[in-house]
Amino acid sequence: MNTYPPPPVTFVRGSGSRLWDAEGRVYLDLVGGVAVCALGHAHPAVADALAEQARTLLHVSNLYGTTVGPEVAATLDRLIDAGGGAVFFCNSGAEANECAIKLARKWGRSQGGARGAARGGARGGAPGGARYAVVSAERSFHGRTLATLHATGQPLRHAPFKPLPEGFRHVPFGDLGALATALAAPDVAAVLLEAVQGEGGVYAAPPGYLEGARRLCDEAGVLLMMDEVQTGLGRTGRWFGFQRAGIRPDVVTVAKALGNGVPVGACWARSDVAAAFVPGDHATTLGGQPLAAAAARAVLRVMEAEEAPARAAAAGARLAAGLRTVPGVTEVRGWGLLLGAELGGDGARTAPEVAAAALAAGLLVNPVQPTILRFVPSLLVRDEEIDEAIEILRKVAA
């Protein structure tokens, strides 16, 4: 269907941070499948895991148990919260956020008032316990299903698909006063935030914002849900972006890098919150099936062995320093290897123009907004590859 513009190039092979097109030309990739290929293309550990699992067991449905998924769930639980939670597996970031939204509504109906009282909240739920609303941020992006689209704080994306599901409100990102006002409504069940707004233009949470959001959610007796679909698993220089603020969310969603190209997502929740779900409340045919779980297990093993967060922090610092030397770059934002370069000044080329010129020169970068280039390369990108990319950008941006 006509949902994407015509592709400017067709790729047939990849290895590490390199791609080859149908004509045999080689490219340096700083897009990484939009933060998906965190270990680079065709990582041998992931390829071997997929091949072995494909010869062993592909799918039996969630009516029966398998052995790989529980191991992946335990690893995610440890990395997110040092244990103490439960995981639902799905196939994408949008589905992970759908799970979080449904869990918040079920929790808000069944346990919201009790938790508010237990946490010292000044109020219980709405009349009848009907807590269902989710507060998210302007400029945010949470997915393209109808519910996650409305959670997304970008009205232009809403317009073609109205009416959208009710129960979503938006406040300015970084504004604790606006968030406090929104949480005064008695029907709010949860707050959904990104640590860095990637699709919105690479805007990191201001200092103190996530800590303040945690405090406000505690005071109001509502859930704090972190969308770590793009920021999670080492991308920001920590395993998860929220960890930079030293907070403990109630719900965390993950996808993208988890499969390194294999579709897999996960919604983690603290055990007492996850207990709101009972059999029949939520399900998926393919979520957590052995092939996707085998890929995720291999990804997590390599990430831990390679100390991916530390590598992202070091490589991100090098990339950010280089971007500041590129003509027309007025600001570099972000954490780790989730960076945005703002373009401006007299005669500066637009982000799409720079991206097109870079592609012609053999470099993939992402024009996420008209004046913003986004960089989300492999977390294993080498120093010499970063330097090569900066040299190309200097030439094409001039």
Residue 187 designated active-site:
no
126 pLDDT band (50/70/90 cuts)?
A: low
CA-to-CA separations, 220 to 18, 161, 182, 215, 307, in angstroms, rounded: 49, 32, 10, 9, 37
HSE at residue 251, side-chain half, CA atoms within 13 A, is 31
121 pLDDT band (50/70/90 cuts)?
A: very low
Residue 88 designated active-site:
no
Give yes or no for a contact between 312 and 379, defined as CB atoms under 8 angstroms apart: yes
pLDDT over threshold 70, residue 115? no
pLDDT value of residue 203? 98
> 301-352 pLDDT, tens per residue?
999 999 999 999 999 999 999 999 999 999 999 999 999 999 998 778 999 9
Residue 162 designated active-site:
no
Q: What is the distance, to the nearest Å, from the Cα of residue 280 to the centroid of all Cα atoms in its chain?
A: 27
pLDDT value of residue 116? 44
> 73-93 pLDDT, tens per residue?
999 999 999 889 999 999 999
Q: Which domains does the chain have, with CATH numbers?
A: 11-30+307-397 (3.90.1150.10), 50-306 (3.40.640.10)
Q: Mean pLDDT lowest for which of 14-28, 33-47, 108-122, 371-385?
A: 108-122
Q: Which of 173, 227, 250, 375 is catalytic?
A: 227
Tokens representing residue 9 in the block: 């190039």
Q: Which of 88, 89, 141, 168 is catalytic?
A: 141
Give yes or no for a contact between 309 and 244, defined as CB atoms under 8 angstroms apart: no
pLDDT value of residue 130? 81
265 pLDDT band (50/70/90 cuts)?
A: very high
Give yes or no for a contact between 382 and 28, defined as CB atoms under 8 angstroms apart: no
**Residue pointed to by tokens 């494909």:** 54
pLDDT over threshold 90, residue 46? yes
| Number of Cβ atoms within 10 Å of the Cβ of 111 | 19
Q: Which residues contact 82 (CB under 8 A, 6 or more apart)?
A: none
Residue (of 220, 225, 262) closest to 68 by Cα position: 262
Residue (of 110, 17, 5) closest to 362 by Cα position: 17
Tokens representing residue 22 in the block: 């149908």
**Residue pointed to by tokens 């519910």:** 147
Q: 3-state SS of the chain?
A: CCCCCCCCCCEEEEEECEEEECCCCEEEECCHHHHCCCCCECCHHHHHHHHHHHCCCCCCCCCCCCCHHHHHHHHHHHHHHCCCEEEEEECCHHHHHHHHHHHHHHHHHHCHHHHHHHCCCCCCCCHHHCCCEEEEEECCCCCCCHHHHHHCECHHHHHHHCCCCCCEEEECCCCHHHHHHHHCCCCEEEEEEECEECCCCCEECCCCHHHHHHHHHHHHCCEEEEECCCCCCCCCCCCCHHHHHCCCCCEEEECHHHCCCCCCEEEEEEHHHHCCCCCCCCCCCCCCCHHHHHHHHHHHHHHHHHCHHHHHHHHHHHHHHHHCCCCCEEEEEEECCEEEEEECCCCCCCHHHHHHHHHHCCEECEEEECCEEEECCCCCCCHHHHHHHHHHHHHHHC
Q: Which of 77, 256, 277, 375 is catalytic?
A: 256
Q: What is the distance, to the nearest Å, from the Cα of residue 146 to the centroid of all Cα atoms in its chain?
A: 18
Average pLDDT, rounded, for the chain: 95
Beta pairing, strands 85-90 & 338-343: unpaired
Tokens representing residue 14 in the block: 């990849």
Q: In what order do the strands lie in the sheet with 372-375?
A: 329-335, 338-343, 372-375, 366-369
Residue (of 79, 45, 25) closest to 262 by Cα position: 45
